[in-house]
C-alpha cells in the first residue's frame, strides 16, 4: 500500500528539542490514561514503549484517571517509568455513573437487544460509563482544566517507531485539532440512532456545522456496504480513539458541548452503546475543519487487533509497512476513505 518511505511530516512546522537543552519549554499538554488498578502491567508496558520511542527526550507529564483510588503499588510502578511529572485524578461518582435521565426499562431493553446480537461489552455498565466519560467528560475534570492538548494512552498498546519531534508542538504550531493513527468502520448496532440524533441537532443548529467538515467520510461507506443502513446514514467511519492526540478546547467549545448535551438527552450511551470513538469522530467531522485533522502515519502503533505500520527505518515491527489487520477483516479499514475524501 505504501511504497514511499515515511519519515517526519513534510512541509509542516516541526520543533526538535536538542540534546542537553535544559531550558526547553513544554507545550501545554499531558499524556493521559483512564485506567484500572488491575491493568498496571499493561499500562507500564505501554508507558515504557512511549518513553523509549519519544517521551524520554521531552518528559511530558502523565495524568492517570480512575473511578477508584489508585493503589500505592500502582503509583509506585508508574512513577518508576514516567520521565515527567505524574498526576492522578479520581472521577467523582456524579460524573462516572449512569445519569438520572436514563430510563431503566429502555436501558434494560436496549442491552437485551445488543446482547442478543452478541455486541461486546453490551451488558457491562462500566463500559457504558467509560464510553460516555471519554466522549464528553474527561476534559472537564478539575485536574485536566489546566491542559489544552492530550495524548491518550491505553494499557497493552505498542509504540514501535522512534519519533524525534515534539508531537504536541506539532499540533499547536500547525493549528491541528485532532490526530489519529487508525480509522475503522464501527458495529452499526452500537450507534443505531447516533446519526439521527446528530442530524436533528444540526437541523436545529446549522450554525455549528463547519463548511469544510469531513462529510463524505462520515456518510460514504464503500468498503462495507452492509453497514450503510444500520447506522441511519452514518458510514460508521471513525478514528480509533484508543490512540488520539487532540485539543481539548475543541470539546470545550460551544458546538461540541451543545451537541454533547443533545446526545446525553437522547440517552444512547446506555440505550445503545455509543462509543467515544464514533462520538469524537462525528463531532470533529462535523464541527471542525477537516484540514485540522492529522493522520500520524509516522507513529507506529498497535492496539489489538489493528496497527498503523509505517514504512520506515525508525520502526521495529514484524509486519509489512501499511499492515492493517488480518486480511479477513480488511473491510473494517476506513483509512482509504479518509485519504480519498479528506486529505
Ligand atoms: P476496548 O479497547 O474497547 O476493548 O476497551 P478497554 O477495556 O481497553 O477500555 C478502554 C479504556 O478505558 C482503557 O484505557 C481502560 O483501562 C479504561 N477503562 C475501561 N473500563 C474502565 C473502568 O471501569 N474503570 C477505569 N478506571 N478505566 C476503565
Ligand atoms: Mn483497549
Q: Which residue has the higher pLDDT, 233 or 327?
A: 233
This model of the complex carries an ipTM of 0.99
CATH 3.40.190.10 fits 29-342, yes or no: no
Locus of grid cell 512511549: 50
Q: What are phi and psi of 86, to 5 degrees?
A: -120, 130
Q: Does pLDDT of 326 surpass 70? A: no
Tell me what percent of the residues of the chain surpass a pLDDT of 90: 86
Locus of grid cell 485519504: 339
Whether residue 244 lies in the annotated active site: yes
Q: What are phi and psi of 88, to 5 degrees?
A: -125, 140
C-alpha cell at 343: 486529505
- Identify the band that residue 220 occupies on the pLDDT scale cut at 50, 70 and 90: confident
Picking from 242, 247, 334, 329, the residue whose alpha carbon sits closest to that of residue 283 is 247
Per-residue three-class SS string for the chain:
CCCCCCCCCCCCCCCECCCCCCCCCCCCEEEEEECCHHHHHHHHHHHHHHHHHHHHHHCCCEEEEECCCCCHHHHHHHHHHCCCCEEEEECCHHHHCCCCCCCHHHHHHHHHHHHHCCCCCCCCHHHHHHHHHHHHCHHHCHHHCCCCEEEECCCCCEECECCCECHHHHHHHCCCCEEECCEECCCHHHHCCHHHHHHHHHHHCHHHCCCCCCHHHHHCCCCCCCHHHHCCCCCCCEECCCCEEEEHHHHHCHHHHHHHHHHHHHCHHHHCCCCHHHHHHHHHHHHCCHHHEEECCCCCEEECCEEECCCCCCECCCCCCCCCCCHHHHHHECHHHHHHHHC
Hey, which of 31, 32, 34, 240 would you mutate to test ligand 1's pocket, going by the most ligand atoms within 8 Å of its Cβ? 34
130 CA from centroid of ligand 1 (Å): 7
Which sequence spans correspond to the domains of the chain?
Answer: 29-342
Ligand 1 and 154: CB distance under 6 A: yes
The number of the ligand 1 atom at minimal distance from the alpha carbon of 129 is: 23
Report the nearest-CA residue for atom 28 of ligand 1.
35
* Bond prior to 305 in cis (omega within 30° of 0): yes
pLDDT tens by residue, 35-94: 999 999 999 999 999 999 999 999 999 999 999 999 999 999 999 999 999 999 999 999
Hey, which of 39, 45, 130 would you mutate to test ligand 1's pocket, going by the most ligand atoms within 8 Å of its Cβ? 130
Output the average pLDDT for the chain.
94
Would you say 322 and 203 are in contact if contact means Cβ atoms under 8 Å apart? no
Q: Does pLDDT of 225 surpass 80? A: no
Amino acid at each position: 500500500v505504501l511504497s514511499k518511505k515515511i519519515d517526519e511530516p513534510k512541509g509542516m512546522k516541526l520543533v526538535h528539542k536538542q540534546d542537553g537543552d535544559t531550558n526547553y519549554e513544554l507545550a501545554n499538554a499531558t499524556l493521559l490514561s483512564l485506567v484500572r488498578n488491575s491493568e498496571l502491567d499493561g499500562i507500564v508496558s505501554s508507558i515504557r514503549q512511549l518513553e523509549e520511542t519519544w517521551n524520554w527526550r521531552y518528559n511530558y507529564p502523565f495524568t492517570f484517571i480512575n473511578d477508584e483510588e489508585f493503589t500505592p503499588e500502582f503509583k509506585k510502578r508508574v512513577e518508576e517509568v514516567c520521565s515527567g511529572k505524574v498526576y492522578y485524578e479520581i472521577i467523582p461518582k456524579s460524573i462516572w455513573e449512569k445519569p438520572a435521565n436514563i430510563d431503566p426499562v429502555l436501558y434494560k431493553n436496549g442491552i437485551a437487544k445488543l446482547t442478543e446480537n452478541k455486541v461486546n461489552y453490551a451488558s457491562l455498565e462500566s463500559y457504558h460509563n467509560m464510553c460516555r466519560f471519554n466522549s464528553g467528560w474527561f476534559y472537564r475534570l478539575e485536574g485536566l482544566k489546566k491542559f489544552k492538548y492530550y495524548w491518550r494512552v491505553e494499557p497493552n498498546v505498542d509504540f514501535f517507531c522512534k519519533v524525534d519531534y515534539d508531537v504536541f508542538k506539532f499540533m499547536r504550531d500547525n493549528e491541528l485539532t485532532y490526530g489519529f493513527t487508525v480509522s475503522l468502520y464501527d458495529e452499526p448496532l452500537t450507534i443505531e440512532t447516533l446519526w439521527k440524533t446528530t442530524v436533528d441537532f444540526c437541523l436545529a443548529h446549522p450554525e455549528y456545522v463547519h463548511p469544510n467538515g469531513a462529510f463524505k467520510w462520515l456518510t460514504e461507506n464503500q468498503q462495507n456496504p452492509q453497514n450503510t443502513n444500520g447506522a441511519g446514514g452514518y458510514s460508521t467511519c471513525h478514528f480509533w480513539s484508543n490512540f488520539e492526540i487532540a485539543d481539548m478546547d475543541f470539546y470545550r467549545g460551544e458546538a461540541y458541548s451543545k451537541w454533547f448535551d443533545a446526545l446525553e438527552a437522547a440517552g444512547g450511551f446506555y440505550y445503545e452503546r455509543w462509543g467515544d470513538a464514533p462520538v469524537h469522530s462525528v463531532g470533529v467531522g462535523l464541527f471542525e475543519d477537516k484540514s485540522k485533522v492529522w493522520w500520524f502515519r509516522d507513529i507506529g502503533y498497535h492496539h489489538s487487533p489493528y496497527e498503523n505500520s509505517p514504512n520506515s527505518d525508525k520502526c521495529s515491527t514484524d509486519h509489512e509497512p501499511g499492515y492493517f489487520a488480518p486480511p479477513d477483516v480488511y473491510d473494517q479499514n476506513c483509512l482509504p476513505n479518509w485519504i480519498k475524501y479528506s486529505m
